[in-house]
Amino acid sequence: MIIYNGRPENTEGRLEKEIRSYDFLDALGINYTRVDHEAAMSMEACREIDTKIGTTICKNLFLCNRQQTEFYLLMMPAHKTFKTSIVSSQIGSSRLSFASPEYMLKFLDITPGSVSILGLMNDKSKKVKLLIDEDVLSGQYVGCHPCINTTSLRFRTEDLKSKVIPALGHPPRLIKMP
């Protein structure tokens, strides 16, 4: 794996949603590091990538309530375990579960394994609420996919807080997972 600064010089063969991610970050003036790799379908697969780029890629979960009327993107540290009851009680929602891939594609233009905060740029109807475990914001860097799990990015957590989240228009709700 080779570490690159910024977007790929040649975008041939890359998906439009990935290119939109680079356009979004570049328009905000965010410096980011990028590494291309085999598809990372699990957090275990991300460990080697994490070491290479010098940060932990967040565990990103796409959730919904029982009625499938409320949708959430949860960012949490990879080492923490998702506990439905803890998140549900903190946000005052009925029992949460994983939302279907159809809703993921419809609202975020993302497929399973590629969930990322950058997918919120595709949620023009603001249907998805952003939840962030407060520990995600305590590190110097944050890692995520550019809407595809064959590339990983690293940028400053301060840029996430001060530029990315405001530009996405999805104010976060902070939660605390034990």
Q: Which domains does the chain have, with CATH numbers?
A: 3-175 (3.90.960.10)
Q: Where are the alpha helices (DSSP H) in the chain?
A: 16-27, 43-53, 84-91, 101-108, 157-159, 165-168
Query: For strand 151-156 and strand 141-144, is the pairing parallel, antiparallel, or unpaired?
Result: antiparallel
Q: Is the pLDDT score of 169 beyond 90?
A: yes
Identify the residue whose tokens are 């009851």.
Answer: 85
Q: What is the DSSP string of 144-155?
A: E-SSSTTEEEEE
Average pLDDT of the residues in 168-173:
96
Provide the pLDDT confidence category of residue 46 given band limits of 50, 70 and 90.
low
Output the pTM of the full model.
Answer: 0.92
1/90 Cα distance (integer angstroms): 39
Question: Rounded to a whole number, what is the largest CA-CA distance in the chain?
Answer: 46
**Whose CA is closest to 32, among 134, 142, 135?**
142
Q: Using one digit for the tens of pLDDT, what is the confidence trace for 105-155?
A: 999 999 988 999 999 999 999 999 999 999 999 989 999 999 998 999 999
Q: Is the pLDDT score of 3 beyond 70?
A: yes
Q: What is the pLDDT of residue 54?
A: 78
What would the two tokens of residue 77 be? 């540290």
Q: Residue 70, exposed/middle/buried by CB under 10 A (0-12, 13-18, 19+)? A: middle
Q: Is the pLDDT score of 57 beyond 80?
A: no
Neighbours of 16 (CB within 10 A): 10
Which range, of 54-58, 82-86, 159-163, averages the lowest pLDDT? 54-58
